[in-house]
Structure 1
Amino acid sequence: MSPRNLTAPTFARTRLGSGPGLLLAHGAGSSLAGTYGPVLEALAARHTVVGIDYPGSGDTPRSTTPLSLDDLADQLIAAADAEGLDRFAVSGYSLGGPVAIRTATRHPQRVTALVLTAAFPHRDNRLALASSVWSKIAASGDRELLAEFQLMMALGTQALESMPAEQLRQTLDHVAAATADGTSEQTDLVGQLDVRDDLTAITAPTLVISTTDDRLVSTALHRHLAETIPHAQLADIATGHLPMLERTDEWLHLTTNFLHKHNT
């Protein structure tokens, strides 16, 4: 058995299903349910799924200090400890990608596989600008404007342009209502972090899922992950930044097949 992490669990967490362990790390401005909601039931059919909500998301109180990538990774491990999971795969989406990467490098004996979706090792100029604008809009408290920005940046061309006007209005209302209170702090972290030095130390089998119509995180950043993490596999999904919503079955097929191949 691996030594347990000493960090006390303080973030709200979710546990579902049974089977091999699978930790989930969500994206900025969202929550565990907001990111993984369309696929949670299917993942829990084969795995013991455990995930956390970052400060200001779900039932986790908003932080009064800047967020730390190490703290997010340690809280993910603390949730696994609290739920009795010794070994587990980790799925990280967008900001959750660096969280999953840091988890894997800090606890290599416990992480059995990594799935990195629409993820990034550092911010390029586009992501730096987008995260800065996103954070400023969130800090303004204008939820309608924030929803418009998020939808414009996150949805792929096909998904966005296929919406009738009324559906677009309803979707904007839903996004505005669901936006995490801690969005500003979470997107600030997106604009600051850099895990490039972690990548060559990853020993777990890794699947990088590249969202090829992504306006927020470029495919060049996805490919940097796949080319630098030892023996990583790369899979493309023709979608925007929300593949679990836009191409639910395709994402599930890629992810569950990869995890099954590596017996997790």
Structure 2
Amino acid sequence: MSEAMTQLPDGTSLNVVDVGTGYPVIFQHGLGGDRHQVADSFPEPIACRRVTVECRGHGLSDKAAVERYSIAGFADDIIAAADSLGLQRFIVGGISMGAAIALRLAITRPERIAALMLVRPAWLTEPAPDNMRPFAEAATLLHTHGREGREIFASSPTGIRLATEAPDNLASLLGFFERDDLHALGDLLGAIALDGPGVTEEQVRALSIPALVVGHTHDLVHPWAYARQLAGIIPGARWAEITPKAVDKARYAADLRAVMDAFLRKFAASEETRT
């Protein structure tokens, strides 16, 4: 395993994790996540080369001005990082925001993408979906109340609803108030909550690569219906419903690793047959 900072042409440094050997897979974290989120979700031992680029403002990567935070910008950064590693064609995937980045890359850079994995997508094609509103609310409280915003969010109508219907979502959102540099984090959360992958349903329907879409219930930020809809409109996509994270976190992780491992192994077998 290697972990190193890669400098982009604009001077921004991004932390890149590169582990394993075999066909390359660039797999991305969610909004506010990092390399650890991916490591906890990805199959082990892996039968591929897994690369994770910590997006601007995440993990060990540089922060950026708020106008530089966008799904399109993060996608461009991944291509730059792939170029620096000499990766011409790869599988792309991700969780939540990572799934939106992956979907954008599959559509806008088809010559680079061999297959697609979308785990718990938080976007379809439109920007600022209602399910991302809790992030926007958290961003406002981070700016206006700092750490004290945690209790305000927890007792708000959104917090009360999440506590009942999606406690794992609530735990993640409350965790933001315990981090450092809360104003910068608020910039990041607010910008991405209002963004989208910048693609159309027609473009999604025109995809012609192997695809896996994974979803589960008990999740308001990552609606089951979004995952199911994407699985239905991506031609030939494999659909997998797994144990909700809020119900059994260990079972969720095991299920996710199993479906991704099966997909990656099937892809590898098809590549061997084709070549």
TM-score when normalising by structure 1: 0.77
Match of 1:3 in 2: none
Does 1:135 find its partner at 2:139? yes
CA distance in 2, matches of 1:155, 1:25: 27
CA distance in 2: counterparts of 1:20 and 1:189, whole angstroms: 30
State how 1:145-224 maps to structure 2 within 5 Å: 145-146=149-150, 176-177=178-179, 181-182=184-185, 184-193=187-196, 194-197=198-201, 198-224=203-229
Aligned to 1:95: 97
SS at match of 1:142: helix
Aligned residues: 247
Counterpart selection for 1:76 from 74, 78, 92: 78
Q: Pick the structure with greater CA Rg.
A: 2
Q: Which runs of 5+ in 2 are unaligned?
A: 1-7
CA distance in 2, matches of 1:178, 1:65: 17
Task: Tell me the alpha carbon deviations over residues 13-70 of structure 1, each in whole angstroms, 9 at most, x when there is no partner.
Answer: 111111110101211112222x213135726x32211111122111222211322222
In structure 2, relative to structure 1, the CA distance for the partners of 1:158 and 1:201 (3 Å cut) is closer
| 123-132 or 74-83, larger mean C-alpha shift | 123-132
CA pair 70-110 structure 1, distance change in 2 beyond 3 A? same
User: Structure 1 pair 40/125, CA: closer, same or farther in 2 (3 Å)?
Assistant: closer
One-letter amino acid of the counterpart of residue 118, structure 1: R
1:57 corresponding residue in structure 2: 58
Aligned partners of 1:30, 1:183: CA distance in 2, in Å?
A: 14
Shift of 1:75: 1.0
- Cα 1:103–1:129, aligned 2, differ >3 Å: closer, same or farther? same
% of aligned pairs identical? 22
Q: Is the 8 A contact 1:243 1:251 kept in 2?
A: no
Which SS does the other structure have where 1:258 is aligned?
helix
Residue 46 of structure 1 corresponds to 47
Letter in structure 1 aligned against 2:26: L
Q: Describe the SS at the equivalent of 2:66.
A: coil
Q: 2-side partners of 1:74 and 1:187: how far apart? A: 20
- Pick aligned residue for 2:257 from 235, 252, 256: 252
Aligned residue type for 1:97: A
Q: CA deviation at 1:189?
A: 1.7
Q: TM-score, normalised by structure 2?
A: 0.75
The C-alpha deviation readout for 1:69-91, integer Å capped at 9, x for no partner, is 22211111221221222221112
Specify which structure has the bigger relative contact order, considering alpha-carbon pairs within 8 angstroms and separated by 6 or more residues: 1
Secondary structure at the residue paired with 1:22?
strand
Query: What's the Cα RMSD here?
Result: 3.5
The aligned amino acid for 1:137 is L
| 1:111 and 2:113 are equivalent in the alignment | yes
Give the CA deviation at 1:155. Answer: 8.8
- Structure 2 partner of 1:239: 244
Give the direction of change, closer, same or farther, for the CA distance of 1:158–1:130 in structure 2 (3 Å limit). closer
